[in-house]
Structure 1
Amino acid sequence: MKCYIIPSPKGIDSLTLADRPDPAPGPRQVLVRVRATSLNYRDLLTIEAQYARAAPKADLIPLSDGAGEVVAVGPGVSRVKVGDRVAGCFMQKWIGGAIDEAAQASAMGGAIDGMLTELAVLEEDGVVQLPAGLSFEEGATLPCAGLTAWHALVEIGNIKAGDVVQILGSGGVSIFALQFAKMFGARVIATSSSAAKAERLKKMGAEAVIDYKATPDWDKETLRLTGGRGADITVEVGGAGTLPRSFMATRLGGRIAVIGLLTGMAQVDPMPILRRNLRVQGLYVGSKQMFEGMNRAIAANGLRPVIDKVFPFAEAKEAYRHLKSQNHFGKIVIAHA
């Protein structure tokens, strides 16, 4: 099989196409012919050796997110069969409940090999059926960005109709959060510095889009738009550069799901958390059970993931470069066939 590997993380040019023997599934494992993968900001940090969680394994096959069809099953497999259309779970051993060290050590495209390959051996409990009607390209966007947004709004945010959701930017997680928020009947306030992206966000249902460059104190504008109350749930993807604003844009007793560090790391004053009685929680994607719940909702509501651009397998480096440019709206996908 052909696959991409990172021999030594040192930038996008280190991504190398390699040949490896075709793998075979062991007990309670499945062999998936990967048809599409998608990129996340974590993948860029990994290839540029900036991912602080842990150093990637040697000759890592990157990318956590992929979808394809089952082409073989190992002994004892009963959940899926040959021909099933599936997506791999970001963490192969996080079935349900609270995350633990074993789950964290099974994160694809980091702790273990990922999906930028023609064939992948996955755990039987590490795959989920794709929602009916979605293409492989659309299904490949779900394992990280989709599930992270679902975890933030449903599992942490306990979203309900009429809530106000604050999203930041127009990356994969933020776009999924907008789609899920509208699915639940919530109001959405977004931020963006691009007029073109702002118009697209509004067409997708954002009630207002604040230009954070023209309005650096965008938290005050969120308060104004909500009559001084603030957002019920903030999906925080920026990190230290945006957290202080998110604290003030969120209502008293509101929830902030911290999922990214796009603006870097630094010291953050915790006093607003105390004064505003905020619930601030970090999250790391989600479990298989969350994934299955999200997929049921996607199928029931006919949600279609937003794809910015699809690159062929041979142009994987260009897909990374497009991600690094930050010009995308939604997800960047690589088609394997």
Structure 2
Amino acid sequence: MSPHSQIPPKTRAYNIVKSRGGFTNGNMNIIEAASPSTPQADEVLVKAHAVSLNGHTLRHNLVPTSDTAFEIIAVGPSVKGWKVGQRVCANFCPDHIHGENTSEGRDSALGAVAPGVLTEYRTFPAHSLVVIPEHLSYEEASTLPCAGLTAHNALLGSKPIKGGDVVLVLGTGGISIFALQIAVASGAVVIATSSSDEKLRCCVSGVKHVIEVGGSGTLIKSINSIRIGGSVGIIGSLSSEGADPAGLIGPIMMHSANVRGIMVGSVEQFKDFNRLLDAQIKPVVDKVFDFEQAVDAYTHLESQKHIGNVVIKVAKN
């Protein structure tokens, strides 16, 4: 019996009831819909095995989350290079294939503009797929599309780090832990901090790269920690504190800082990232929840007590 023939008539997915008030308080519920039966000509039909969480803004009446690892169970008639049974991920922006992102690419962002992946079965365009490295489980691989690829783009994108560079990593969330692993694998010297001013003071000589996750509450500190000509990769905004944007101009100019906003990466960058992962980098998974425990998983994410990635196991087998 083929995997395709085993698809149940109904598939379950989570849906955002309201987009304010956090991830809990009844904001998410499980809905049922007819399972996708046949992929379009250039699509693949997949069975989700695991989904990892990131702190994206919730969108009303949209399936949440963007990061999943799945198994191909059917391919469209025009699809080349993919086959049933392969373990794959889809890119965060499925239509961002190479180069800088475009408005069309951004409009395909999963769980942000387009429906997300906290579901059991769905289709993807074949051009969005990347093979999962053999040494990773589905749970580990589900952390790659956003957290992993964002860290890779920040450190090995337009201004790649090199051996001996000093990299400052803020926090212990999924992106920060990936950045630490990538920096170490690249021969960089890593300083890791969890929002401690005392630890930031250790950067008296200035660091070459900062992975900035705090947003307006920590951005000035990050810029002031870099050496002349250093880089700050902005990949998140976890802090609720505000800062006067005008106050950023002086530090940016004085440090000749390269400040770059990063929205994940392209399919081609994802493939490059996987080649680095083949050097046996393994994602750090903090905790795995069952599909029915998605609200608990989001509550754990909101607590910011996790180290690494929070994952939901979708498939039972």
Shared fold (TM-score, shorter chain, > 0.5): yes
Note the C-alpha offset of 1:217: 5.5
Partner residue, 2:244 = 267
Q: CA deviation at 1:218?
A: 4.3
Amino acid at match of 1:320: Y
Asked if the contact 1:2–1:18 (Cα under 8 Å) also holds between the matched residues in 2, the reply is yes
Distance 1:297 1:219 in 2: 29
Are 2:15 and 1:5 aligned? yes
Tell me what 2:229 maps to: 253
Question: 3-state SS of the aligned residue for 1:174?
Answer: helix
8 Å contact kept, 1:218–1:245: no
1:277 is matched with 256
Structure 2 unaligned residues grouped into runs of 5+: 1-10
Say if 2:69 and 2:138, in contact at 8 Å, map to a contact too: yes
Q: Distance in 2 between matches of 1:189 and 1:295?
A: 24
CA distance in 1, matches of 2:262, 2:252: 17
Measured in 2, the distance between the counterparts of 1:156 and 1:164 equals 17
SS where residue 221 of structure 1 aligns?
coil
CA contact (8 A) 1:35 1:66 kept: yes
Equivalent in the alignment of 2:31: 18
Task: Specify the SS of the correspondent of 1:32.
Answer: strand
| Alignment partner, residue 144 of structure 1 | 146
| 1:197 aligned partner | none
Find the residue that maps to 1:122 and give its secondary structure.
strand
1:90-133 deviation line (CA, Å, top 9, x unaligned): 00100001111000000001111111000021110111100111
CA contact 1:94–1:103 (8 Å) conserved in 2:
yes
Pick from 188, 212, 217 the counterpart of residue 241 of structure 1. Answer: 217
**1:79 to partner: Cα distance:** 2.8
| Aligned twin of 2:49 | 35
Give 2:177's match in structure 1, choosing from 175, 178, 182. 175
Checking the alignment, whether the CA contact within 8 Å between 1:34 and 1:336 is kept in structure 2 is yes
2: CA distance, partners of 1:112 / 1:297: 29
**8 Å CA contact retained: 1:157, 1:257:** no
* Paired letter, 1:258: I
Amino acid at match of 2:305: N
Which amino acid in 1 is paired with 2:266? S
Structure 1: how far apart are the matches of 2:77 and 2:64? 27
TM-score, normalised relative to structure 2: 0.91
Q: Which piece of structure 1 moves more, 277-286 or 5-14?
A: 5-14
Residue of structure 2 in register with 1:70 after alignment: 72
SS in 2 for 1:3: strand
CA contact (8 A) 2:168 2:191 kept: yes
Residue 287 of structure 1 corresponds to which residue in structure 2? 266
Contact between 1:182 and 1:188, CA under 8 Å: does it hold in 2? yes
Instruction: After TM superposition, list the pairs within 5 Å mapping 1:1-337 onto structure 2.
Output: 1-10=11-20, 11=22, 12=24, 13-23=26-36, 24-42=38-56, 45-46=57-58, 56=59, 59-192=61-194, 212=196, 216=197, 218-223=199-204, 228=205, 230-264=206-240, 265-268=242-245, 269=247, 270-299=249-278, 301-337=279-315
Answer with 23-32 or 142-151: which moved more: 23-32
Does the CA-based 8 Å contact 2:193-2:200 persist in structure 1? no
3-state SS of 1:240 partner: helix
In the alignment, is the contact (CA less than 8 A) between 1:235 and 1:256 conserved in 2? yes
> 1:241 & 1:293 partners in 2: Cα distance?
32
RMSD over aligned Cα, in angstroms? 1.2
Q: CA deviation at 1:9?
A: 2.0
Between the aligned partners of 2:199 and 2:136, the Cα distance in structure 1 is 36
Amino acid at match of 1:286: G
Q: Is the 8 A contact 1:156 1:255 kept in 2?
A: no
Amino acid of the structure 1 residue aligned with 2:113: A
Equivalent AA in structure 1 for residue 201 of structure 2: K
Quote the Cα distance in structure 1 between the aligned partners of 2:200 and 2:71. Answer: 45
8 Å contact from structure 1 (residues 170, 192) kept in 2: yes
Quick check: 255-264 or 305-314, which moved more? 255-264
Deviations 1:143-163 (A, max 9, x none): 000000000000034111111
Structure 2 distance, partners of 1:75, 1:189, is 50
Runs of 4+ in structure 1 off by over 4 angstroms are: none
- Could you list the per-position Cα deviations for residues 178-210 of structure 1 after superposition, in whole angstroms to 9, with x for gaps in the alignment? 0000101111001126xxxxxxxxxxxxxxxxx
What is the alpha-carbon distance in structure 2 between the residues aligned to residue 277 and residue 79 of structure 1? 45
